[in-house]
Amino acid sequence: MIDTKMIAWIGGGLLVFFLFVFVYVIQVRIKKWNDESISPLPLEGFLSISSYISALIGLTIMFTGVLETFTFSPINSLISSLVLSFSTGIPMWGVVKGLLREVESGDLKEIVPGKF
């Protein structure tokens, strides 16, 4: 049987790999916008969606392994990991989409800490 720490490491590895793929897709879209004025939107391409959902699945697996290490039951840790992953992942998708809208419109604002 696979140790719970190994489950967490596998999930973390999947998370890092698929986030690198997602960031690469975003980087290519922004580069095409700079070079050829091809819009970075819509973000809903196959590679961007599949890599982002795979990263959320990796995050879920990682949290499941971590919670099982702290003696949570497998079902409870899976349910709480799913809730945690998707409740943070869905708003982050909106943030990335909003950032690409700002890049496309040219209204990219500098973020200054302490000033809202």
Q: What is the per-residue pLDDT across 1-37, written as a single tens digit (0 to 9) for each? A: 788 889 899 999 999 999 999 999 989 888 888 888 8
Q: Please tell me whether residue 81 adopts helix, strand or coil conformation.
A: helix
DSSP sequence for 59-81: HHHHHHHHHHHTT--HHHHHHHH
Side-chain half-sphere CA neighbours of 9 within 13 A = 5
Instruction: Return the domain boundaries, the chain.
Output: 4-105
pLDDT of residue 116: 61
pLDDT at 40: 75
Q: How far apart are CA 88 and CA 4, in angstroms?
A: 23
Two structure tokens written together for 37? 């004025």
Does the predicted TM-score (pTM) go above 0.85? no
Quote the tokens at residue 45: 């391409």
